[in-house]
Amino acid sequence: MSDPVLEIRGLRVDYGLGDAAVHAVRDVDLTLHRGEVLGLAGESGSGKSTLAYGLTRLLPPPGVVSGGQVIYHPADGPPVDVLTLSPAQLRQFRWAETSIVFQGAMNSLNPVHKVSTQLLDVIKAHEPKSTAAGRLARARDLLRLVGIAADRLDSYPHQLSGGMRQRVMIAMALALEPQLVIMDEPTTALDVVMQRQILGQLAELRDRLGFAVLFITHDLSLLVEFSDRIAIMYGGRIVEEAPAAQLYRRALHPYTEGLLHSFPALRGPRRELTGIPGSPPDLRAMPEGCAFHPRCPKAFDPCDKKVPALGAAEPDRAVACWLHPVAAPAPR
């Protein structure tokens, strides 16, 4: 496996302070390798988006990162902890090293500025020495990259369709050739045809440009196809992490199994869709022990007493479940 580009260590994100704080992300360890697509899946409220906002320090108040490290490895130079960057360093880090495509394709572009203004100002902010003509040429190339005619630069966002807007956002995310692109449900607001098209394009761009992707979605079926590895989040923790194909073939955690049985397979024998009974846990009153045990069909003795640690159950894959006890925590 190639070297890591981003290492998240023990990241904790709270909403609020003190005793009233809601722990939305709890001790998350996650490593992204250069050029890989890591899928992050879970139900609504499992902390996926909060994790993404936390590691880029974009959390709106009252969200606070209360612990952990986010180590970023630039292409050249020593690794840096994103959480300790000064405001000026953070501004330089953003978009140039890690860009984000947000879930609201419709609202990610400022309605009163032309597409060109919004594409050019990010290049200008990070490369103040570039010439206006050079920036414009870059913007045209970027649009062509995502299959939009260059004359669309002069359009306003409301003159573009939802799919085009999201492709503009992807073009913008690639503007500074970042090492890592975080995608927070980038295709949720789009129809399935457009979803396919954009994901296909994205996979192609990734092969060509070699950036890593942290792909956040609640749609596990999408990840099985699109990502290299998948991490499953539940109640603010990572409960399972495995290569996509392995996870699809045989899930270790009962929650993952439940997610996999929530959508139909296109090929193979017919199987019953079971879904997961119950609803996601209330983050203010988490159950004792494993957060999933009240909904778990396989819960047994230790589940409601102690939190299982995420550990390597098999080579390459980790799980946090008492059904698969592990002696040592997963190597980082």
Partner 1 sequence: MRFLLQRTAFYLFTAWAAITLNFFIPRLVPGDPVQSLISRNQGRISADAIESLRVLFGLDSNENIWEQYLDYWGQLLHGDLGLSFTFFPTPVSTVIGDSLPWTVGLVGITTIISFLLGTALGVGAGWRRGSWVDGLLPATTFLSSIPYFWLGLVAIAVFTGPGSFFPSSGGYEAGLVPAFDGYFIPSAIKHSVLPAATILVSSMSGWILSMRNMMVTVSSEDYITVAHAKGLSERRVALSYAARNALLPNVSGFALSLGFIVGGTLLVEIVFSYPGLGYQLFQAVGYKDYPLMQGIFLIITISVLVANLLADVAYLLLDPRTRKS
Residues contributing to the site for partner 1 (CB under 8 A) = 56, 58, 60, 90-96, 99-100, 102, 104, 107-114, 121-122, 125-126, 156, 158-159, 169, 172
Nearest to 72 by CA among 59, 87, 53, 85: 85
Nearest residue (CB) to partner 1, 113 versus 196: 113
Give me the least distance between CB of 212 and partner 1, in Å please: 17
Of 158 and 250, which CB lies nearer to partner 1 in the complex structure? 158
Q: Give which of 256, 255, 186 is closest to 226, Cα–Cα.
A: 186
Cβ closest to partner 1, residue 75 vs residue 328: 75
Task: Please state the closest distance from residue 310 (CB atom) to partner 1, in A.
Answer: 29
Pairing of strands 237-243, 80-81: unpaired
Integer-rounded Cα radius of gyration of the chain? 21
CB nearer to partner 1: pick between 158 and 298: 158
User: Residue 110 CB, nearest distance to partner 1 (Å)?
Assistant: 4
φ, ψ at 8 (rounded to 5°): -100, 125
Task: Output the smallest distance, CB 263 to partner 1, in A.
Answer: 28
**Pairwise CA distance, residues 169 & 209, whole Å:** 17
Cβ distance 184 to 108 under 8 Å? Answer: no
Residue whose pair of structure tokens reads 């609202």 in the numeric block: 107
**What Å distances lie between residue 129 and 102, 177, 213, 234, CA to CA?**
28, 17, 29, 45
Supply 184's token pair: 């927070």
Rounded least distance, CB 104 to partner 1, Å: 4
Q: Are 151 and 131 in contact (CB under 8 A)?
A: no
CB of 183 to partner 1, least distance (A): 12
Q: Whose Cβ is closer to partner 1: residue 58's or residue 149's?
A: 58
Q: Which is closer to partner 1, CB of 109 or CB of 242?
A: 109
